[in-house]
A and B are shown apart, each in its own frame.
Chain A
Amino acid sequence: MQIYLPVAELSANWLLLLGLGGGVGLLSGLFGVGGGFLMTPLLIFIGVPPAIAVGSEAAQIVGASVSGALAHWRRNNVDFRMGFVLLAGGLFGSTIGVQVFALLRKAGQVELIIALAYVVILGAIGSLMLVESVRAMRRQRLTGSTRRGKLHQHTWLHGLPLKMRFPKSKLYISALLPFAVGAFVGLLAALMGVGGGFIMVPAMIYLLGMPTSVVVGTSLFQIVFVTANVTFLQAWQNQTVDMVLAVLLLVGGVVGAQFGARLGQKLRGEQLRGLMALLVLGVAIKLAVDLVVTPQDAFSLGGGRAH
């Protein structure tokens, strides 16, 4: 059952890796969002070095996103014009991200930064999701209706230069906006090994004002090429991509996502979202605790734990 991961330099149970891929794939199929945010921390928990977890997870996301992106393309749900601007930003952000990653690695700080980034982002997203699902459950009990979100509010963001027309999204906005969104997500992709749909999709809706029908397809289109860029650069510059690991996770992930998507059609979101929020928070807390506890373990040679 053990398989040697050549780049991570450790042997792991391949069934466990398939199962991890499947479980996270199921969740991402269910919620329509990225496995990366959960998978990278889980890999760290089972002992994969954080830098390798980040690089290999990016490789897995390339594979996992391709089929989704193609499906949305076929259904005409991709705004390519917007996608290319997001992608330009993403390539810029991720290329810088990989350089930063290399510098941090040289300084010996990359593991700390990865863990901190995850604690901050997972903590924030988990808390927001939890608040949201509690509120939604209460509201449903009271009225059964949802609030009206207001799109297309005019702010200073609409005064930025380089305005561009995006007919498919029915928008006329500064190209700097999607470029910046893409760049930020690209940076996260490089530093954290995530696709970033988790952040990009809400940003596309609230910040850019895109119609929801093209949001998921367009974000997947960007993710495929940005994570491909990250994989290539991480493998080339940092040697942190373990393809054996990535392929095992991918196989499990593809199967899991199929089940998740089908299950998602049958189940209602509220309770599930609450569970997902708790899971995300749980991972953030475990990472935070490990950050504090590990040094104590490192000094207790062979003996019992410090407390």
Chain B
Amino acid sequence: MSSEAGGHHQRVFLVVVDSSPEMKVALRFACRRARATGGRLAMLYVTEPAAAEWLGVGEIMREERRAEAETRLQELAVDVREMSGDVPVLYVREGDPADELLRLLAEEPTISVLVLGADPGPKGPGPLIAALSGRLIGKLHVPMTIVPGSMTSAEIDAVT
């Protein structure tokens, strides 16, 4: 991680990676903001906990999921580098996405803004935004930016 010498605090934008289309929109927004403010990108990928624990099955599940997470983060890191001009910081955790996200934020005070994409559909914004703007909001200690998943690249570029 970057140093904070001289009281200079580099702004770190955290995006939670999943397979949703709105995640890509949030990522673009965060990259553009980071580039504009001299900040940096961080990405968190939360893997599902192993569903079974016997005869080594749990370990293999964990390994495969971790490998999957790393491949996906590496792919996205290429895009991030292009859009933000810097390589992102990558985190892989295992467990419940909302819990792991809050734990990471508590452990890494360098993360200054959380950027999440909202599902524009009728089912609501998605489980993470629903939880963090609802019952878990008291545990959140950084600002949360919600990017509507319906925004086009041009629209994002226009506001960043």
Which residues of B have CB within 8 Å of A212? Answer: 57, 60-61, 64-65
Minimal Cβ-Cβ distance residue in B for A216: B51
C-beta contact mask, A195-223 vs B, less than 8 Å → 1, else 0?
00010011001000001110110000000
Among A132, A264, A265, A266, the residue within 8 A (CB) of B55 is A132
Which residues of B have CB within 8 Å of A128? Answer: 54-55
The verdict on A264 contacting B49 (CB below 8 Å), with A146-B62, A146-B63 known, is yes
Give the size category of B's interface with A.
Answer: 20 to 34
Which residues of A have CB within 8 Å of B82? Answer: none
A202 touching B96, Cβ below 8 Å: no
Interface residues of A in 131-183 (CB under 8 A from B): 132, 136, 146-149, 151
- Asked whether B52 is an interface residue with its Cβ less than 8 Å from the other chain, the reply is yes
Which residues of A have CB within 8 Å of B65? Answer: 212-213
C-beta contact mask, B94-107 vs A, less than 8 Å → 1, else 0?
01100100000000
Which residues of A have CB within 8 Å of B49? Answer: 264-265
Which residues of B have CB within 8 Å of A151? Answer: 60
How many residue pairs, one in A and one in B, have C-beta atoms under 8 Å apart? Answer: 67
Minimal Cβ-Cβ distance residue in A for B64: A212
Q: How far is the CA of A32 from the CA of B57 in the complex (A)?
A: 11
Interface residues of A in 255-307 (CB under 8 A from B): 264-266, 269, 272-273, 276
B64 touching A31, Cβ below 8 Å: no
Which residues of A have CB within 8 Å of B50? Answer: 32, 269
Give the size category of A's interface with B.
Answer: 20 to 34
Among A33, A149, A215, A216, the residue within 8 A (CB) of B54 is A33
- Asked whether B38 is an interface residue with its Cβ less than 8 Å from the other chain, the reply is no
Minimal Cβ-Cβ distance residue in B for A128: B55
A147 touching B53, Cβ below 8 Å: no
- Asked whether A129 is an interface residue with its Cβ less than 8 Å from the other chain, the reply is yes
- Asked whether A247 is an interface residue with its Cβ less than 8 Å from the other chain, the reply is no
Q: How far is the CA of A33 from the CA of B55 in the complex (A)?
A: 12
Which residues of B have CB within 8 Å of A31? Answer: 52-54
Interface residues of B in 33-56 (CB under 8 A from A): 49-56
- Asked whether B127 is an interface residue with its Cβ less than 8 Å from the other chain, the reply is no
Which residues of A have CB within 8 Å of B56? Answer: 132, 149, 202
Among A32, A132, A273, A276, the residue within 8 A (CB) of B51 is A32
Scoring B51, B61, B63 by chain A CB atoms within 10 A of each residue's CB, the highest score goes to: B51
Scoring A146, A202, A212 by chain B CB atoms within 10 A of each residue's CB, the highest score goes to: A212
A32 touching B53, Cβ below 8 Å: yes
Minimal Cβ-Cβ distance residue in B for A29: B51
Q: How far is the CA of A125 from the CA of B56 in the complex (A)?
A: 12
A32 touching B52, Cβ below 8 Å: yes
B54 touching A198, Cβ below 8 Å: yes
Q: How far is the CA of A7 from the CA of B92 in the complex (A)?
A: 53
Which residues of B have CB within 8 Å of A215? Answer: 57
Minimal Cβ-Cβ distance residue in B for A146: B59
Minimal Cβ-Cβ distance residue in A for B50: A269
B57 touching A269, Cβ below 8 Å: no
- Asked whether B58 is an interface residue with its Cβ less than 8 Å from the other chain, the reply is yes
B98 to chain A, nearest CB (A): 11
Minimal Cβ-Cβ distance residue in A for B100: A265
Which residues of A have CB within 8 Å of B58? Answer: 269, 273
Which residues of A have CB within 8 Å of B51? Answer: 32, 216
Q: A128-B55, A149-B63, A266-B95 are in contact. List 14 more A-B contacts (CB 8 A).
A: A31-B52, A32-B50, A32-B52, A128-B54, A146-B59, A149-B60, A202-B56, A212-B60, A213-B64, A213-B65, A215-B57, A216-B51, A273-B54, A276-B53
Which residues from chain A sit less than 8 Å from chain B, CB to CB?
31-33, 125, 128-129, 132, 136, 146-149, 151, 198, 201-202, 205, 211-213, 215-216, 264-266, 269, 272-273, 276
Closest 4 CB pairs of A and B: A32-B52, A32-B51, A212-B61, A202-B55
20 A-B residue pairs with CB within 8 Å: A31-B53, A31-B54, A33-B52, A125-B54, A125-B55, A128-B54, A132-B54, A136-B59, A147-B59, A149-B60, A151-B60, A201-B52, A202-B56, A211-B64, A212-B60, A213-B64, A213-B68, A264-B49, A266-B96, A273-B58
